[in-house]
Amino acid sequence: MSNIVAIVGRPNVGKSTFFNRLIQRREAIVDATSGVTRDRHYGKSDWNGKEFSLIDTGGYVKGSDDVFEVEIDKQVEIAIEEADAIIFMVDVESGVTGMDEDVAKLLRKVSKPVFLVVNKVDNSQRAENAVEFYALGLGDYYTIASINGSGTGDLLDALVKALPEKEETVQEDLPRFAVVGRPNAGKSSFINALIGQDRYIVTDIAGTTRDAIDTKYNRFGFEFNLVDTAGIRKKSKVKEDLEFYSVMRSVRAIEHADVCLLVVDATRGFDGQVQNIFWLAERNRKGIVVLINKWDLVEKETQTMREFEKYIRQQMEPFTDVPIVFMSVLNKQRIYKAIETAVEVYNNRNKKIKTSKLNETLLPIIENYPPPAYKGKYVKIKYIMQLPTPQPQFAFFCNLPQYVRDGYKRFLENKLREHFNFHGVPVSVYMRKK
């Protein structure tokens, strides 16, 4: 379970540049997954072998400066509440501003590690000018230039040193199903419908994350933990509609889960925030089931369901092999179907395929459709194996891995799906030198 680091500060101080620099370095090396990542405000990074989740709060605020003043306070409060460490970014060009002082005032009361980072310091004159930031009362600061990365090393050294050690909670190996989605999509009602009037419920265990409630649950002779992100204690100060808030909450739940049940309000559709949560689960390589709730409220014609499903699959591209269940929590329609589907996805995610079976099935296909030649070079794939990871990852051993394009990797992924059923589960395909 990784720590969460939030980057706060007023607009245009360079938060996003810094954020992109940190996650791209990492994504280029580790996460060379095909497909687009559509939300750019959450990412994973690591430094000296320590991994952490990074949240750029700036990406969540839209509106004019005066709207911003209110929003930024909210965000800093949420960051204080949710993150394990906070990077407060200011900009040497504009010096200390009133808004910086407001943020500093909130951060001075915090017991968590706070790093004051002065950005755009790219010469010695500016390094001298940075001294004025002592006035914010947050002690020492770090000077960086996020555009070229100078100074970020020292900052990251200090940051990872200050991150609390996450005690790995030893858990019973029950599968964990997280119910995620934007506020008011019906997450709580869904869980209550499953649990409230239900004789199957075994015990309530206090959540391992301090904000998600775990419920041990038994259905179809299958026992699992249901992780409820909706039942998180309501904050008086925080407006529930804050996009940043639900994403931050989902981050923790998703990182902990095996399968994510994404509850979507049928009357609102598969909008930007729902997509953020979907890509978050996909990027964390979790099983996914999409639950379209409040289907009873949608005006229907004969093709409505098919059209709606088609529209959602377009939004999910290229990862479209995901079960979609239409349900109505209110009328208790198909809520058990949702759980049954989650169990299937869980089993798909844990599937191990024998090496002999893989090679027998896929090598003839590859022979008929080899990777296209690149710069006159022919790629020969000799051997395939599944890697011993918690989710399905496959290594294809070949002579020239660097010449295999993303399109062909997608072709291989589709063949794996076609023959071995990974419905609802992200599959990773790696090319390795034999």
On the question of pLDDT at 244 being above 70, the answer is no
Lowest mean pLDDT among 86-100, 170-184, 266-280: 170-184
pTM of the predicted structure, to 2 decimals: 0.66
On the question of pLDDT at 4 being above 80, the answer is yes
1 falls in which pLDDT band (50, 70, 90)?
low
Beta bridge partners of 52: 3, 45
Nearest one of 116, 42, 119, 130 to 85, comparing CA atoms: 116
324 falls in which pLDDT band (50, 70, 90)?
very high
Q: What torsion, rounded to 10 degrees, do the Cα atoms 86, 90, 96, 101 define?
A: -30
Task: Give the residue numbers of the binding site for GTP.
Answer: 9-16, 56-60, 119-122, 181-188, 228-232, 293-296
DSSP assignment of 101-153, as one string?
A: HHHHHHHHT--S-EEEEEE---SHHHHHHGGGGGGGSS--EEE-BTTTTBTHH
Under 8 Å between Cβ of 30 and 73? no
Task: Work out the percent of the chain whose per-residue pLDDT is above 90.
Answer: 30
Task: Work out the percent of the chain whose per-residue pLDDT is above 70.
Answer: 79
On the question of pLDDT at 392 being above 50, the answer is yes
Cα(296)–Cα(248) distance, rounded to whole angstroms? 30
81 falls in which pLDDT band (50, 70, 90)?
confident
29 falls in which pLDDT band (50, 70, 90)?
very low
On the question of pLDDT at 329 being above 90, the answer is no
Q: What is the pLDDT of residue 304?
A: 81
For 367, phi and psi rounded to 5 degrees?
A: -65, -40
Cα(403)–Cα(296) distance, rounded to whole angstroms? 50
On the question of pLDDT at 209 being above 50, the answer is no
> Judging by DSSP bridges, how do beta strands 204-205 and 85-91 pair with one another?
unpaired
Cα(289)–Cα(325) distance, rounded to whole angstroms? 8
374 falls in which pLDDT band (50, 70, 90)?
confident
Cα(372)–Cα(180) distance, rounded to whole angstroms? 41
Residue 224 vs residue 100, higher pLDDT: 100
Sheet holding 428-433, edge to edge: 381-386, 393-398, 428-433
Q: What is the pLDDT of residue 200?
A: 35
Nearest one of 9, 17, 8, 7 to 94, comparing CA atoms: 9
Q: What is the pLDDT of residue 356?
A: 93
Taking only the tens place, the pLDDT of each residue in 164-185 is 876 554 455 678 888 888 777 7
83 falls in which pLDDT band (50, 70, 90)?
confident
Q: What is the pLDDT of residue 172?
A: 54
Mean model confidence pLDDT for the chain: 79
On the question of pLDDT at 201 being above 50, the answer is no
423 falls in which pLDDT band (50, 70, 90)?
very high
Taking only the tens place, the pLDDT of each residue in 117-158 is 999 998 888 999 899 999 999 999 999 998 888 889 999 999
Listed in sequence order, the residues at least 6 apart from 161 whose beta carbon sits closer than 8 Å to its beta carbon are none
Lowest mean pLDDT among 7-11, 235-239, 321-325: 235-239
Task: Give the residue numbers of the binding site.
Answer: 9-16, 56-60, 119-122, 181-188, 228-232, 293-296
354 falls in which pLDDT band (50, 70, 90)?
very high
> Hey, what are 42's tokens?
């959450």
- Across residues 184-202, what is the average pLDDT? 65
Cα(297)–Cα(309) distance, rounded to whole angstroms? 16
Lowest mean pLDDT among 14-18, 248-252, 389-393: 248-252
Lowest mean pLDDT among 103-112, 142-151, 224-233, 379-388: 224-233
